[in-house]
Chains A and B, each alone.
Chain A
Amino acid sequence: MSYVLTWLGLMILLALTFASSYLPMGAWNTVANTGISCAKALLIALFFMHLRNAGALLRIVALAGLLWLTLLFGLSWTDFGTRTLSPAPWSSR
């Protein structure tokens, strides 16, 4: 039963993200879309992937990937964010 409810939640969130993209909200569209995607991912992880009932060890490992992703995004951004762009030949065609 909780699986069907999770699926229903996912469908409602899909309808929300789809409909919201037709409302002119500027940068807030991206915020809404990203927020809804995170909510959907959380629903899938907690219920379909059983993180809700998982032990501490499993939860930490599940979060480890996201932690490293954040670190690497941050480190990469210090590079890309502080340089002038030199487009590759194919991207300035």
Chain B
Amino acid sequence: MTTSPFDSTLERREAATLGMWAFLATEVLFFGPLFFGYVHGRLASPDAFVAGSHHMHIVLGTLNTAILMTSSLTMALGVRAARTGSGSLKTMLTLTALLGLTFLGVKGSEYWMEAKEVANASGAELQFYFLYFAMTGLHALHMTIGLGVIAWLWRHARGFGRHYHAPVEVSGLYWHFVDIVWVFLYPMFYLLERYSA
């Protein structure tokens, strides 16, 4: 007879989710200092941050936000597919990965364009760029890890169904968390005093 630390399947399932939420709490604190640095920098030199923000590519940034939020939709649909065993898990994972890759591609092309602006920046505007590259870079790193996880799920997609889907579930939570981080980054860097641009 095997013994389990859990009283029920439901409890075991919740343990996996709980572990991921605990990890996400540490992720909040991982990103936290950069957010604090941003608040401090912007309060200390608001004009420089506005000037830096006006160099951001607003159309690409907004498009990327829409792309990322759509990838969260496909991820949520993928998790549901795994839960119900409806078979569309692979399709949803593929769509999520494609949207994620598109996001990174757009972000990369933005970096390419902004690299020239940085060369002309100085003082507090340089601080804006530092925070921009550090925060969106850390976000992009999380996206890259997320894409790796999706690739792993895709390979093992046949093993998931109504009775076993915890890996899909917790990967979904991670993906949505990374989406939430971007939801805050977008107005912080792209939307400062757009009316005066």
Interface residues of chain A, those whose CB is within 8 Å of chain B, are 3-4, 6-7, 10-11, 14, 17-18, 21-24, 29, 33-34, 36-37, 40-41, 44-45, 47-49, 54-55, 57-58, 61-62, 64-66, 68-69, 72-73, 76, 80, 85, 90-93
Query: Which residues from A are CB-within-8-Å of B70?
Result: 7
Cβ contacts B3-14/A at 8 Å (1 or 0 each): 000000000001
> Contacts of B69 on A, CB cut-off 8 Å?
7, 10-11, 14, 40
Partner of B28, one of A29, A48, A69, A91: A69
User: Dominant SS at the B interface?
Assistant: helix
- How far, in whole Å, are A72 and B30 apart by their CA atoms in the complex? 12
12 pairs of residues in contact across A and B, judged by CB atoms under 8 Å: A10-B72, A33-B187, A44-B72, A48-B73, A49-B172, A49-B176, A57-B14, A61-B18, A62-B24, A65-B29, A72-B29, A93-B126
Most buried by A among B24, B65, B126, B187: B187
Bound-complex Cα distance A6 to B194 (A): 27
> Contact between A91 and B124 (Cβ–Cβ < 8 Å)?
yes
Q: Say yes or no: B17 contacts A58, CB within 8 Å.
A: yes
Complex Cα spacing A61 to B179, Å: 19
* Contact assessment for A3 and B76 in the assembled complex, using a CB-CB cutoff below 8 Å: yes
Q: Contacting A73 at CB < 8 Å: which of B14, B25, B36, B180? A: B36
Residues of chain B within 8 A of A3, CB atoms compared: 73, 76-77, 80
Q: Does B122 lie within 8 Å of A23, measured CB to CB? A: no
- Cβ contact within 8 Å between B176 and A55: no
Interface class of chain A by DSSP: helix
| B32 pairs with A55, CB closer than 8 A | no
Q: Is the CB of B27 within 8 A of A92?
A: no
> Which chain B residues border A48 with CB–CB below 8 Å?
72-73, 75-76, 172, 176, 179
Instruction: Confirm or deny: B191 has a beta carbon within 8 angstroms of a beta carbon on chain A.
Output: yes
Q: Is B191 in contact with A29, judged by CB distance below 8 angstroms?
A: yes
Residues of A with C-beta under 8 A to B124: 91
Q: Chain A residues near B196 (CB, 8 Å)?
A: 24
